[in-house]
């Protein structure tokens, strides 16, 4: 992951960089009453985010999108962005910055519409509905809407959908989601099915992926896949027209199907978007095209973004943070002076301290580490109470099945840690004075957290050996199976509202490999078996109950990672921005609704 950029951990919708300030807020200046009130509001909002997602029919999938009250046409929105976008090729997009941009320029078979309360419905985007299933959920059929064209005016057909899926098997696609490929081709070795993608004339068999006519695409799975409509709504499954595919070069110059297209792009410096005149609002149930364009410049850190937009002068009155957050040093001023120009909400992430189970084999040692950690103190350098809250478990408040107050290690009751309990467990394990190699990302707030964690563990009786790692290579380093480390922080967020996008990728023993997301190397027979069993359950409510029970087993009986904190988002926008709301899909400002007031 990159240093100060929000991006996904393999398998997360919009995940977090090792060095990123997920939300750089701070609770100073707020009294306890207002903090509690704010927390209660956040929890209510999280309930909507964790509600079961509805699957929309043809009526729900028709365009145009519901108009935004008071919206006006025209003008250019100014965007201050920290870093260049990680990718522009949809197949490579598994990051929050590029995921935000994707909503403006790309489209897929399905997408989401968001209700006033934040609840979500999956609807057809290019497809006429969210999908028709048959064969007990093993077969899904999609029909394309009429009038879908790319920015060059070329119609999109089922061949383009098939090509989009098959190109994800090619070796140059390395960073995008892999759910559908694995579902179609039997697991992590899916590339063996189509090693060169479709570029040499090879294709997946019709028994797997079928295009009976120009408007129809049929997915055939070996097992039921009730979450397919949500997977297809991920930016990584947006459509790449076959005739325009330039393989690896597509990452520099993609072809738009969304309401905007790239008019000018200077990597590392700037990007300008203009209206895509071939986009037809009658086909789009979720996006708008109110402004004429977007002027994006890079190299604005969070402090610079916050200062410019808070000043609200000149172009900054028309400005937003796209995937940045309010800087921690400015949070008090922003809340006092411009609270009405902010959006807030829970993000789907849980930060945890992973414990390398190849090296820390004694559960009492892992429990001692967990009890020693002062979660409340660890949260402060990442923004304090506006940034999140101490976590008792490893499932975020945005997930179905989340249990408010779940706290088997007393992290909520004792946010400063329980050093005496930790000492007792370490003594019982006979490991007093045990050396711990602790890695942390060499970014300002991670450095502060490292001091807090080191101090607590030293008090508990550990001999902590700290090792700093460049944030830009953080996940590359800790993602190695033989990483030589004992403990290290990672964050994880759901790809859609289901524990099936959290527990299997992070805690399945079959997922231990370099670059995979099982950072603790947990390989528990019961956990592995339950993941296989629960993954086959078609009823989402029944599956959720089973995932929650398995989560409790992982936390209480195995303890591969100490839960640290859940994260929240806070962004500021200029006074001339209209339509601003929190996207419960993206966990950032909803770009599809924005307009300029004058």
CATH number, domain containing residue 445? 3.10.105.10
Same domain, 268 and 121: yes
Same domain, 349 and 464: yes
Domain assignment present for residue 40? The answer is: no
**Do the bridges between strand 216-220 and strand 139-143 make them parallel or antiparallel, or are there none, so unpaired?**
antiparallel
Same domain, 404 and 545: yes
Same domain, 274 and 409: no
Q: Looking at residue 24, what is its pLDDT?
A: 21
Choose among 92, 106, 100: nearest CA to 150.
Answer: 106
Q: Looking at residue 511, what is its pLDDT?
A: 87
pTM: 0.86
CB 417 within 8 A of CB 63: no
Q: Looking at residue 7, what is its pLDDT?
A: 30
Choose among 346, 299, 294: nearest CA to 320.
Answer: 294
Phi-psi region of 383 (alpha: psi -120 to 50; beta: other; left: phi over 0): left
| Dist. CA 186–CA 169, nearest whole Å | 13
Choose among 489, 512, 201: nearest CA to 349.
Answer: 489
Same domain, 405 and 280: no
Domain assignment present for residue 586? The answer is: no
- Cβ-based neighbours of 567, under 8 Å, separated by 6 or more: 16, 22, 23, 346, 347, 349, 350, 351, 382, 387, 388, 491
Domain assignment present for residue 321? The answer is: no
Same domain, 285 and 349: no
Q: Looking at residue 20, what is its pLDDT?
A: 39
Exposure on the CB side of residue 73, measured as CA atoms within 13 A: 2
Q: Looking at residue 41, what is its pLDDT?
A: 64
CB 219 within 8 A of CB 184: yes
Does residue 266 sit in helix, strand or coil?
A: strand
β partners of residue 155: 149
**Tens of each residue's pLDDT in the chain, 598 residues:** 232 233 333 333 333 334 332 322 222 233 334 455 555 666 666 766 677 788 999 999 999 999 999 999 999 999 999 989 889 999 999 878 899 999 999 999 999 999 988 889 999 999 999 999 999 999 999 999 999 999 999 999 999 999 999 999 999 998 889 999 999 998 888 999 999 999 999 999 999 999 999 999 999 999 989 899 999 999 999 999 999 999 999 999 999 999 999 999 999 999 999 999 999 999 999 999 999 999 999 999 989 999 999 999 999 999 999 999 998 889 889 999 999 999 998 888 999 999 999 999 999 999 999 999 999 999 998 878 888 899 999 999 999 899 999 999 999 999 999 999 999 999 999 999 999 999 999 988 899 999 999 999 999 999 999 999 998 788 889 999 999 999 999 998 889 889 999 999 999 999 898 888 899 999 999 999 999 999 888 888 899 999 999 999 999 999 999 999 999 899 999 999 999 999 989 999 999 999 999 8
Domain count, the chain: 2
CB 386 within 8 A of CB 573: no
Domain assignment present for residue 197? The answer is: yes
Domain assignment present for residue 365? The answer is: yes
| Dist. CA 177–CA 13, nearest whole Å | 9
Same domain, 282 and 350: no
- Cβ-based neighbours of 174, under 8 Å, separated by 6 or more: 92
- Cβ-based neighbours of 549, under 8 Å, separated by 6 or more: none
Range of the structural domain that residue 419 is part of:
345-569
Same domain, 373 and 237: no
| Dist. CA 164–CA 107, nearest whole Å | 12
Q: Looking at residue 32, what is its pLDDT?
A: 39
Tokens of 285: 């149930």
Domain assignment present for residue 274? The answer is: yes
Q: Looking at residue 472, what is its pLDDT?
A: 75
Domain assignment present for residue 64? The answer is: no
Helix, strand and coil content of the chain, in percent to the nearest 5, comes to: 35, 20, 45
| Dist. CA 437–CA 359, nearest whole Å | 10
Kindly tell me the burial class for residue 186, based on how many C-beta atoms sit within 10 Å of its own C-beta (0-12, 13-18, 19 or more).
middle
Same domain, 253 and 399: no
Q: Looking at residue 44, what is its pLDDT?
A: 67
276: CATH: 3.40.190.10
Same domain, 507 and 379: yes
DSSP designation for 123: E
| Dist. CA 83–CA 109, nearest whole Å | 29
Cα Dmax for the chain: 71
């Amino acid at each position: 992951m990159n240093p100060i950029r929000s991006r996904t951990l393999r398998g997360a919708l919009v995940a977090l960089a090792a060095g990123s300030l997920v939300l750089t807020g701070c609770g100073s200046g707020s009294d306890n009453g207002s903090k509690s009130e704010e927390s209660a509001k956040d929890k209510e909002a999280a309930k909507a985010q964790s509600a079961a997602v509805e699957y929309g029919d043809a009526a729900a999938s028709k365009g145009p999108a519901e108009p935004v009250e008071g919206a006006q046409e025209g003008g250019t929105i100014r965007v201050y962005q920290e870093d260049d976008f990680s990718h522009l090729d949809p197949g490579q997009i598994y990051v929050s910055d590029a995921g935000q941009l994707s909503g403006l320029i790309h489209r897929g078979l399905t997408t989401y519409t968001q209700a006033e309360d934040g609840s979500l419905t999956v609807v057809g985007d290019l497809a006429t509905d969210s999908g028709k299933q048959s064969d007990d959920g093993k077969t899904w059929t999609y029909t394309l809407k009429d009038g879908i064209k790319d920015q060059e005016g070329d119609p999109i057909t089922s061949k383009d959908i098939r090509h989009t899926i098959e190109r994800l098997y090619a070796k140059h696609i390395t960073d995008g989601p892999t759910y559908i490929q694995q579902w179609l081709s039997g697991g992590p070795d899916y590339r063996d099915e189509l090693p060169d993608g479709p570029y040499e004339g090879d294709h997946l068999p019709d028994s797997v992926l079928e295009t009976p006519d120009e408007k129809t695409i049929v997915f055939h799975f070996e097992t039921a896949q009730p979450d397919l409509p949500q997977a297809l709504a991920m930016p990584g499954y947006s459509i790449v027209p076959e005739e325009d595919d330039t393989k690896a070069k597509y990452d520099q110059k993609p072809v738009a199907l969304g309401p905007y297209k790239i008019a000018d792009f200077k990597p590392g410096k700037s990007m300008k978007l203009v209206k895509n005149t071939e986009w037809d609002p009658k086909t789009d149930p979720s996006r708008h095209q109110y402004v004429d364009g977007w002027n994006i410049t890079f190299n604005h850190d969070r402090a610079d973004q916050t200062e410019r937009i808070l000043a609200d002068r000149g172009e900054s009155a028309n400005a937003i943070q796209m995937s940045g957050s309010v800087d921690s040093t400015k949070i008090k001023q922003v809340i006092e002076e411009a609270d009405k120009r902010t959006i807030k909400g829970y993000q789907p992430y849980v930060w945890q301290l992973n414990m390398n189970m190849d090296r820390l084999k004694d559960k009492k040692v892992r429990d001692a580490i967990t009890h020693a950690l002062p979660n409340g103190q660890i949260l402060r350098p990442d923004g304090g109470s506006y940034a999140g809250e101490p976590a008792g478990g490893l499932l975020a408040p945005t997930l179905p099945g989340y249990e408010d107050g779940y706290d088997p290690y007393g992290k909520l009751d004792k946010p400063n840690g329980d050093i005496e309990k930790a000492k007792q467990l370490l003594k019982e394990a006979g490991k007093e004075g045990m050396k711990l190699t602790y890695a942390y990302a060499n970014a300002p707030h991670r450095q502060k957290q490292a001091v807090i964690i080191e101090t607590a563990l030293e008090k508990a009786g550990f001999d902590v050996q700290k090792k700093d790692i460049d944030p830009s290579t953080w996940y590359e380093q800790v993602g190695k199976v033989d990483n030589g480390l004992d403990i290290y922080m990672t964050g994880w967020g759901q790809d859609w509202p289901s524990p099936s996008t959290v527990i299997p990728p992070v805690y399945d023993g079959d997922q231990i490999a370099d670059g995979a997301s099982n950072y603790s190397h947990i390989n528990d027979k019961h956990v592995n078996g339950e993941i296989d069993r629960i993954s086959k359950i078609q009823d989402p409510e029944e599956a959720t109950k089973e995932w929650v029970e398995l989560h409790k087993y992982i936390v209480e009986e195995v303890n591969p990672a100490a839960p640290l904190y859940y994260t929240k988002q806070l962004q500021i926008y200029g006074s001339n921005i209209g339509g601003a709301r929190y996207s419960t899909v993206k966990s950032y400002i909803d770009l599809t609704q924005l307009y300029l007031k004058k």
